[in-house]
Structure 1
Amino acid sequence: MKQKVLKVHPDDNVLVALQDLSQHEVVQYNGASYTLTEPIPAKHKFAATAFDKEDAITMYGVLVGRAKQPIPVGSRIAVENVHHAAGSYALSDQRKTAWTAPDITRWQQKTFMGYHRADGSVGTANYWLVIPLVFCENRNVEVLKEALLGELGYSRPDKYAAFTRSLIAQQKAGANATQILETIYAEDTTAAGPARIFENVDGIKFLSHDGGCGGIRQDAQSLCGLLAGYITHANVAGATVLSLGCQNAQVSMLQEEIRKRDPHFTKPLYILDQQQTGAESVLISQAIRQTFAGLMEANRCTRRPAPLSKLCIGLECGGSDGFSGISANPAIGYTSDLLVALGGSVILAEFPELCGVEQEMSDRCTDMEDATRFIQLMRTYQQRAEVAGSGFDMNPSPGNIKDGLITDAIKSAGAAKKGGTSPVSAVLDYPEKVQQPGLNLLCTPGNDVESTTAEVGSGANIVLFTTGLGTPTGNPIAPVIKLSSNTRLYERMQDIIDINTGTIIDGTETIAAAGERILDYVIQVASGAAIAKSVVNGQDDFIPWKRGVSL
């Protein structure tokens, strides 16, 4: 018989419904019986013991909330009867870095086919970048985009254009609005774009943004650091940079940030200053000429075998549900542990979603300096949020709450499972670059796109992105592999979801087996043998973080 409920940790005093449960239904777990006082939707939790007002609610073995009022056994815990609460934390001189590494025998001799760079890094893709240093250059970037993509074979056919044409034809034939609304969309799968001129270059990516001037000088410095992270990224062959000339984000600042990340930088880099160049036609023609020459150089790079230790994986979640923390997140946590054991790097970010597990993450830092830095970053972030009137307790979105993540601590305790169990090798502040193998903690917001943008800027050459509700987030230069926490979502949104981990909830697969399956797919994507749905769909989301309060 399929299990109906789950206690995530032995110390928990709530149970998770794995399927919809009825009022007055009696459910069994580990020899105990629970009579439900109300319907419990799948993904939600109910009291395994009676709570008095302000009693602690425990899940994942940590404090995740307190009762607002008495809650009888078998009652659903919800925003109406529980408020956010999280345990206190402090720097400890005890390092809890012992861990049991998973068996990596099957992968020790495996390689992936990647693009080798002069700095020793290996890319999973080969892109050219066109970057504005300031928002004033966004229009010129769009002009370059229109001039280059179609002619070089990188534009994709508009799969909805034929549908629009069919509606026009119906309207001309006399169809009314009701008939138009009843028209069914049928995708044209025969459309194909022109062949690529440069077969070894995966694409030209245009990183438009709204920064570079105005704001504060720190914003400009952070932006240049992020852009330098993309320019020096293993998935990037070279870049064309457009500068106006008078903005805060000066060319010298960008060059300084590039040197921080790669002191011996040798990639093709073309920087054009519009105020120095003069006429727009001169700027654009020169940018096209230089970009074309750069693409010729980039096309000389081909895939070659590389050890799995050259992989750097970003760990992200978005549109989370009540199953994310017990299926998809621990599954990629196991993948993370496998990669760390193989000598690779992983990045766990989204600091607002580490609320409640600060003590554990700090204690897992191998270095006291990193443990101190993590605590300082967390406290500073929380204080800034509180000053703005939005503490971490306001982090769960309406979608999170609807699907069972009713407090930030519940959401965070499940989100932290993405980081597996390995020690923390380094703590990074945005937008620093990963320099150490192992588990890296990177200070970013919980916002999906801002965080994914940051992880790639810090070196992630693939991102594993878990979701329970469905989200189309992607990245311009790194494949973002989507993993569903439940089978229903996978079946409903297969156009954006790559992997289903709802098998764990269904009882047909263990967390370890799912984690191993995920690593096998990562190797395929890293080698170009499989293409992530985010890449197929052209989901090139890019949003720099201005270091303001973003949850």
Structure 2
Amino acid sequence: MKNRVLKVQSQDNLIVALDHLKKGEVITYNNKEVTLIEAIAPKHKFNESDLKKGEEIFMYGVLVGKAEYDIPAGSMITTFNVKHAAAPFKLGERKLTWEKPEQGDFKDKTFQGYHRANGSVGTANYWIVLPLVFCENRNLDVIKDALVNQLGYGKSDKYKDFAQDLISKYQKGEELQDILTSELQSVAENPNPTRIFENVDGVKFLNHDMGCGGTRQDAQSLCGLLAGYIAHPNVAGATVLSLGCQNAQYSILQEELLKRQCTDKPIVFLEQQEEGTEEKLITEAIKETFTGLMEANKQTRQAAPLSKLVLGLECGGSDGFSGISANPTLGYVSDLLVTLGGTTILSEFPELCGVEQELSDRCVDEETALKFNSLMTAYAASAVRAGSGFDMNPSPGNIKDGLITDAIKSAGAAKKGGTSPVTDVLDYPEMVSKKGLNLLCTPGNDVESTTGMVGSGANIVLFTTGLGTPTGNPIAPVIKVASNTKLSEKMPDIIDINTGPIIEGEENIEDSGRRMLDYIIAVASGETQCKAVINQQDDFIPWKRGVSL
């Protein structure tokens, strides 16, 4: 029989509804009865005992809020009766003991990847074109229009065909109200053209709105991020366009590339103020990019151990089930890959609010813990100075689906990091250099965070969602993981893996995690394309080091 409620940790005083619960229904949990004084929707929580005004509220074993006023047992927890609260943190004792998952069949498994000279292995093989300043975005668009379809990387546009069909019917005087989505599906898609370069997955264009007009620190940070993308194992080479007078100079990019020990990749650098005419700049960029693609095409996939995988752990459009199904599954995958000698990255620092002490204590040494504590403290303080705060992090969608305080959201989000020790703490846009679980300081904003993790070296991203989001990345596969079956069935065009069976009592976290790792291997080997890659969802937003939650 399916469980209808769940208490995540024994010390919690909130219970999660897994099903629709009716007003007046008597819920029995651990031999204790609670009569519901109102209906509780799935994903939402109710208190198992009376709560006095100011009383602390716990979930996932940590402080997540305080009662705004007296709350009778069996009440739904909302933004009206509970306010955000989180426990303070400080440097504590090292707590590095953890239970490693059984490696099983994964011990000797490999994936087929692109081996780079520095020892890293890519899960894809891209050429990237990027601007050092937003002034070059138009030139990138012109180059993209000239190259992508001609090289066989275009995507048939069924919506353009659908719009043309509507225009045709309008011009003929036909009625439009009977045209439904089914007609859109009936529009024949043109087959994808044949790739000119079989071993190159695509040419990607990293348009952005930075590079000048901001602070010098923004320019340095941008160059570090762009260097991370050029140095990335999924990238064969790059074409870099510069105007010439901007803050983000090519010399800064070269310094950042040296920090990442990237000295051997082909980089085409063109500066518009040196080249002269637009035509000269663009024709030279197209010619040199084509030459680079010829070389990149000589690289082929070869077997690599799973220890060469670097997984980014992300969540977005989260719901009340994310911290129970999808995020713990990612945590298990993280622990399993770390056991196999691999690397994982947990980011989104505003969504670690309330679990800082646990993560700090899991850092391998005091120096690493102090760096984490310092970054968290500084980030929180900057948010307050800007008139905001981590308590303002949950989105309307989060709140609607049961994540009513930042600490509740954070405690569930942190489950993505599993239980392994934290081997390193990185400040954006530092690059991963140590195996194991890494913490990377980024905003909670989905695209800014995903952009940052890939820039730090993630060659695949696992992205959990309870509400649905199309987020992808230009160079790294972003595997979308649903927290519930309803979402998976409703949005199959963006969801790759469903962890809803955990909520339904049909699968446990370990089995879900092992199923997920099998899928990761298939994607990493190029045998399967995740939906974000199929949809060409190439989201790329650098982080300006101001306040972004």
Structure 1 length normalisation: TM-score? 0.98
| RMSD between superposed Cα atoms in Å | 1.1
Aligned residue in 2 for 1:6: 6
1:474 to 466, 472, 486: 472
| 1:233 corresponds to 2:232 | yes
Could you tell me how far apart the structure 1 residues matched to 2:158 and 2:267 are?
Answer: 34
CA contact (8 A) 2:360 2:372 kept: yes
Aligned residue in 2 for 1:389: 387
Aligned residue in 2 for 1:26: 26
Aligned residue in 1 for 2:211: 212
Aligned residue in 2 for 1:360: 358
Aligned residue in 2 for 1:165: 164
CA contact (8 A) 2:425 2:438 kept: yes
- Residue 189 to residue 501, structure 1, CA distance change in 2 (3 Å): farther
Could you tell me how far apart the structure 1 residues matched to 2:3 and 2:177 are?
Answer: 47
Aligned residue in 1 for 2:80: 80
- Residue 205 to residue 495, structure 1, CA distance change in 2 (3 Å): same
Q: How far does the alpha carbon of each residue in 1:91-111 deviate from its partner, in whole angstroms, 9 at most, with x for none? A: 12x100111100002111100
Aligned residue in 2 for 1:106: 105
Could you tell me how far apart the structure 1 residues matched to 2:188 and 2:352 are?
Answer: 43
Percent identity (aligned): 66
Could you tell me how far apart the structure 2 residues matched to 1:190 and 1:403 are?
Answer: 37
Could you tell me how far apart the structure 2 residues matched to 1:511 and 1:152 are?
Answer: 43
Aligned-pair CA distance for 1:177? 5.5
CA contact (8 A) 1:472 1:496 kept: yes
Three-state SS of the structure 2 residue aligned to 1:150 is: coil
- Residue 329 to residue 187, structure 1, CA distance change in 2 (3 Å): farther
Aligned residue in 1 for 2:150: 151
Aligned residue in 2 for 1:38: 38
Question: What is the identity, as a one-letter code, of the residue corresponding to 1:38?
Answer: E
Gaps of 5+ in 2: none
Three-state SS of the structure 1 residue aligned to 2:165 is: helix
Q: How far does the alpha carbon of each residue in 1:302-360 deviate from its partner, in whole angstroms, 9 at most, with x for none? A: 00000000000000000000000000000010000000000000000000000000000
Could you tell me how far apart the structure 2 residues matched to 1:423 and 1:435 are?
Answer: 15
Could you tell me how far apart the structure 2 residues matched to 1:180 and 1:493 are?
Answer: 22
Aligned residue in 2 for 1:460: 458
Could you tell me how far apart the structure 2 residues matched to 1:420 and 1:369 are?
Answer: 21
Aligned-pair CA distance for 1:193? 2.5
Greater displacement, 18-27 / 154-163: 154-163
Could you tell me how far apart the structure 2 residues matched to 1:182 and 1:200 are?
Answer: 36
Three-state SS of the structure 1 residue aligned to 2:184 is: coil
Three-state SS of the structure 2 residue aligned to 1:185 is: helix
Question: What is the identity, as a one-letter code, of the residue corresponding to 2:244?
Answer: G
| 1:96 corresponds to 2:95 | yes
- Residue 120 to residue 505, structure 1, CA distance change in 2 (3 Å): same
Aligned residue in 2 for 1:509: 507
Question: What is the identity, as a one-letter code, of the residue corresponding to 1:112?
Answer: F
Could you tell me how far apart the structure 1 residues matched to 2:82 and 2:10 are?
Answer: 21
Aligned residue in 1 for 2:192: 193
| 1:379 corresponds to 2:377 | yes
Aligned residue in 2 for 1:547: 545
Aligned residue in 1 for 2:258: 259
Question: What is the identity, as a one-letter code, of the residue corresponding to 2:386?
Answer: A
CA contact (8 A) 1:163 1:186 kept: no
Q: How many residues align?
A: 549
Three-state SS of the structure 1 residue aligned to 2:220 is: helix
Aligned-pair CA distance for 1:300? 0.3
Structure 1 residue runs of 4 or more that deviate by more than 6 Å after TM superposition: none
Structure 2 length normalisation: TM-score? 0.99
CA contact (8 A) 1:159 1:187 kept: no
Could you tell me how far apart the structure 1 residues matched to 2:365 and 2:303 are?
Answer: 33
Aligned-pair CA distance for 1:175? 2.4
Could you tell me how far apart the structure 1 residues matched to 2:96 and 2:22 are?
Answer: 44
Question: What is the identity, as a one-letter code, of the residue corresponding to 2:548?
Answer: S
2:281 to 263, 267, 283: 283
Aligned residue in 2 for 1:140: 139
Question: What is the identity, as a one-letter code, of the residue corresponding to 2:198?
Answer: E
Q: How far does the alpha carbon of each residue in 1:130-150 deviate from its partner, in whole angstroms, 9 at most, with x for none? A: 000000000000010011111
Three-state SS of the structure 2 residue aligned to 1:50 is: coil
Q: How far does the alpha carbon of each residue in 1:157-184 deviate from its partner, in whole angstroms, 9 at most, with x for none? A: 1121221121112101112464568984
Gaps of 5+ in 1: none
CA contact (8 A) 1:127 1:238 kept: yes
Greater displacement, 298-307 / 151-160: 151-160
